[in-house]
């Protein structure tokens, strides 16, 4: 069964650096009880919520379809692992807020 929200993560060069940029839905379009799937045409994706998560886990990989279980505003970091093993984008321990991440605005059911 397809997810309610299919979020693509694309490679982009921003200010001379390669980034993993999520194409997130408009604020207010995701709600508790809906499902989300992340993918990329460029490789394996990893989406991490280091502070708070709208899911039952703080790390989501591209094979997962996850249900939104919590309303609120959630900051994430994204990375893509290329076929040669190179990881592009945000990595654990880095500050959030760059182009390799985004904000999930989840409304009530």
Q: For the chain, what are the domain ranges?
A: 5-107
> pLDDT at position 50, please?
93
CB 54 within 8 A of CB 69: yes
- Distances in whole angstroms, Cα of residue 61 to Cα of each of 40, 104, 107: 11, 16, 23
CATH number attached to the domain at 5-107: 2.60.40
Determine if the pTM surpasses 0.95.
no
Q: What is the pLDDT of residues 39-72, one digit of tens each?
A: 999 999 999 999 999 999 999 998 899 999 999 9
């Amino acid at each position: 069964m397809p997810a309610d929200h299919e979020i693509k993560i694309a490679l982009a060069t921003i200010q001379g650096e390669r980034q993993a940029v999520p194409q997130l839905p408009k604020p207010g379009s995701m709600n508790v009880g809906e499902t989300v799937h992340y993918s990329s045409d460029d490789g394996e994706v990893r989406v991490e919520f280091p502070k708070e998560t709208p899911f039952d886990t703080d790390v989501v990989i591209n094979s997962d379809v996850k249900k939104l279980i919590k309303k609120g505003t959630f900051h994430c970091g994204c990375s893509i692992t290329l076929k040669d093993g190179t990881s592009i984008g945000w990595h654990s321990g880095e500050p959030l807020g760059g182009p390799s991440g985004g904000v999930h605005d989840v409304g009530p059911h």
